[in-house]
Amino acid sequence: MHAGPVRGGYNCRFAAPSSPAITPPGPLTPDANTLRFTGERFLPEVRGAIWYEHWHRYAAVVPLAAGKRVVDAACGEGYGSFLLGATAAAVTGVDVSAEAIAHASARYSRANLDFVVGSVTALPLPAASVDLVVSFETIEHLAEQREMLADFRRVLTADGVLVISSPNRPVYNEAGAIENHYHVRELDRAELAALLASGFPQQAWYAQRIVAQSALWSEGAHGADAVCMALVDGLPESAPEPAPPMYFIVVCAAGGIELPALPALSLFDDGMLSLTREHARALARERELAWDELDSRQVAEDRLAELVTAVNALASEREAGSVKSRRIEALEAELAQTQRGVRDALAREAAARAQAADMSAALDEARARLAYRESAQGWLRFPFAAARQRMAQRR
């Protein structure tokens, strides 16, 4: 079920909540979580005029679902499907959002209730398999409006019934100040009637609007056309009166006199819906603030995503720099080791050269001595040298 700004229509039924607190219908599973409100779908936790609008539509249709096979097309969070299941033979809630269907399946449980992922333009159901299709605040979210209605006709039996709601475009946003970002094509009465004409020519129209007016009603004598409804313990009930009376108006006379009758239900306004419009202005401002908050949250999330990307990139660069630094350190160590090896090799080569030079000098000296001995002078002096050596040894 989709949510949107609350605007026009006229409502002759009353919904009186049993208490200010939200009481979702039926038991909740221990691990059920509330979906995040984005403005696309109504959630039962959301208060304000929109709460009355969405609950009232489902509550009014509950009697029509009694004993029927029902499809709740675009069931959203699932609260409406659960409500219809109180009287229906079977209810199938269908929504294109896998997240919404998972939430609904976890939160709402009945033996006659199923939730499935699917598009309202191609319902995952056989032809002529259901008696009642309920589609509240869905058609304005689609460009394929004819396709949706054609598929509703397909799954309905020959005598099946469609109950559909759609915002009245000229009144829905009278001031033109607020745009619902999720609406693709809003319709006026003539456009909606034309779309329904081919598949659903038999039509009964009802109007709905949140109003703030003075209500005057007859105690205990409501006519069939004045029904007061309230959501009590998660189920719609007929209430004895719209609300606890703040004043009493009594028409009285002497005994036996037939009293003139006032209407069973009378609503009074100044002709300009001033009280309603004053409340609507306050709600409009509240919705503007809500949309601003959603936009700000989106901007913050986008900025956070950008920062995360930047931080990750910086971390990657730092890691890459760290890897490069470690590689440079390793190369520098390898270079230093190579340089030490070269220096050691050069030192060894120099020592070898010095040793070779010493050996060459000694060899030259030995050759010189040998040459001297073999010379005539050496042969002549050799006996004297040998004698001196013997004498030195004796001493």
Q: Enter the tokens of residue 316.
A: 């990657």
Question: Within 10 Å of residue 189's Cβ, how many Cβ atoms?
Answer: 14
Q: How far apart are CA 45 and CA 51, in angstroms?
A: 8
pLDDT of residue 48: 67
Tell me the residue range of the domain where 336 lies: 303-383
User: Looking at the DSSP assignment, which residues form a beta bridge with residue 119?
Assistant: 122
CA quadruple 180, 184, 186, 192: dihedral sign:
negative
Quick one: 47 and 184 in the same domain?
yes
Q: How far apart are CA 155 and CA 157, in angstroms?
A: 7
The position carrying tokens 């038999």 is 202
pTM above 0.95, yes or no: no
> How many residues are given for the chain?
395
pLDDT of residue 366: 77
pLDDT of residue 180: 64
Quick one: 188 and 317 in the same domain?
no
Quick one: 256 and 154 in the same domain?
yes
For 264-293, what is the mean pLDDT?
A: 76
Quick one: 178 and 325 in the same domain?
no
> Of 1 and 337, which is predicted with more confidence?
337
Instruction: Please count the structural domains in the chain.
Output: 2
The answer to whether 77 and 103 are in contact (CB under 8 A) is yes
pLDDT at 212 over 60: yes
For 171-194, what is the mean pLDDT?
A: 75
Confidence grade of residue 21 (pLDDT, cut at 50, 70, 90): very low
Quick one: 263 and 349 in the same domain?
no
User: Looking at the DSSP assignment, which residues form a beta bridge with residue 115?
Assistant: 93
pLDDT digit string (tens) for 103-142? 999 989 999 999 999 999 999 999 999 999 999 889 888 9
Q: Enter the tokens of residue 93.
A: 């809630």
Quick one: 162 and 310 in the same domain?
no
What is the DSSP secondary structure assignment for residue 83, as one 8-state letter? H
Residue 260 lies in a domain: yes
Quick one: 354 and 255 in the same domain?
no
pLDDT of residue 84: 95
Quick one: 55 and 195 in the same domain?
yes
For 17-36, what is the mean pLDDT?
A: 41
Confidence grade of residue 395 (pLDDT, cut at 50, 70, 90): low
Quick one: 25 and 166 in the same domain?
yes
CA quadruple 206, 74, 281, 189: dihedral sign:
negative
Residue 274 lies in a domain: no
Q: Which of 8-17, 239-248, 281-290, 345-354 has the lowest mean pLDDT?
A: 8-17
Quick one: 319 and 180 in the same domain?
no
